[in-house]
Amino acid sequence: MAKAPRPASIYITGAAETPLGKVTDQSEFSMVALAAREALGEAGLRLKDVDALFTNYMGEEGSVQLGEYLGVRPRYAESSDIGGASFEFFVHHAMLAIAAGRCEVALIGYASRQRSRRNRKRAVSLSDGTLAAQFEAPYGIHFPIGHYALSAARHMHQYGTTLEQLAAVAVAARQWARLNPKAWSRDPLTIDDVMASPMICDPLRKLDCCLVTDGGGVIVMSTKERAKDAMKRPIRVLGAGESHCQWHVAQCPDLTVTPGAISGRDAFAMAGIGPGDVDVFEPYDNFTNGVLLYLEDLGFCKKGEAGAFVAEGRLAPGGSLPSMTSGGGLSYNHPGALGILLLIEAVRQLRGEAGDRQVPGAEIAVAHGTGGLAFSTASTVVLARD
């Protein structure tokens, strides 16, 4: 694979979760503030050192409102919303901004209280005035599960993927979650358990679907020079890529291919590595079938082979590609936008501080975020223990 130009050495120097699970005693802003204090402490920095701010997906709030709350007046800021992929997307943009000298210390933050507020939207309304309202809502499709279910059915039809193979993804995530004291769901889980759970949207069952929780986190990025102040091992950003295609499922050219085919290609090229070099994979596991597509699109296996790949136990503890090592969105935490937590877990694995779920000798990790209604967006980040 040809190596693409990479900006000068950029590091993640702090990573921290907000309060997780069901959070009734904090606001979204205060949750980010708590995580920011912890992440900046790891980085050996303070809020006054932050000169770039990235956030999205906090209701109507963006970088201006978050900056006001934190007392940060950034030289560089962004509040773009590409759904759950936004945070890997922000790592890419922060890397470029730092390399260009537009900032030195970037804070990427997010929090959601969707479980406590019970405000997650479940369906397109006919009154939305959107294309989805005109061309999708009349058929009763719910999002995002309806769109993922269409993709799962297509993959099963086209490649012979089975329900048991989808269930193997949920089982692998739960095996990791049982090693994580912060995980929401830690009870034992078998393929039979997944298969026996209620059908939600054919062919996806309840345990093929992610959690609905409160949570979030903060990532701090900086130059190599500022990284020298870090209290913990800085983790180098080797490469990043992003892409997006359609928003509406009716415009999706292929339900078995995601924009990750482009974002992954670009991230690996910038990093100068291939899929075989990756020690830890943190995919956006909001639904089990999505993980199969990301494995294929990023090149961990050939198109149509991901079902057999996961059925062999390769994602689980002791497998050849440890994935969803926190327990992922399926068992650990899913606060509406999971991408920030994928980065935090990747950093912890590379620092060697993941406790019972630590992957031995982990040197390269990939965090892969996705978002939108029908695999609309994707961002991929390659991280390395320097």
Identify which of 11, 8, 37, 379 has the alpha carbon closest to the alpha carbon of residue 221: 11
Task: Compute the C-alpha angle 136/138/144, nearest 5°.
Answer: 40
Distances (CA, A) of 323 to 5, 141, 331, 379: 28, 30, 13, 17
Secondary structure element (H or E) that encloses residue 312, with its range: none
Helix (H) or strand (E) holding 381: strand 377-385
The two structure tokens encoding residue 88: 């890997």
For residue 370, which phi and psi values (nearest 5 degrees)?
-135, 165
Q: Does the annotation count 148 as an active-site position?
A: no
Give, in degrees to the nearest 5, the angle at Cα 119 between 116 and 123. 145
Active site residue: 110, 159, 284, 294, which one? 284
State the virtual CA torsion across 18, 20, 26, 27 in degrees, nearest 10.
Answer: 70
SS3 category, 314: coil
Cross-sheet strand order for the sheet of 377-385: 76-78, 52-55, 105-112, 215-223, 10-17, 235-244, 377-385, 364-371, 280-283
Q: Please tell me what DSSP assigns to residue 359.
A: P
Beta-carbon count within 10 A of 230 CB? 19
Which tokens go with 230?
């870090």
Element holding 231 (H helix, E strand): none
Among this protein's residues, is 284 annotated catalytic?
A: yes
265-277 residues labelled b (16+ CB within 10 A) or e (exposed): bbbbbbbebebee
Beta-strand pair 52-55/76-78: parallel
Give me the residues paired with residue 239 across strands.
382
Our measurement of the distance from residue 26's CA atom to the centroid of its chain's CA atoms, rounded to an integer in Å, reads 23
The answer to whether 41 and 70 have CB atoms below 8 angstroms apart is no
Nearest in space to 342 (alpha carbons), one of 223, 208, 216, 186: 216
Catalytic residues: 284, 332
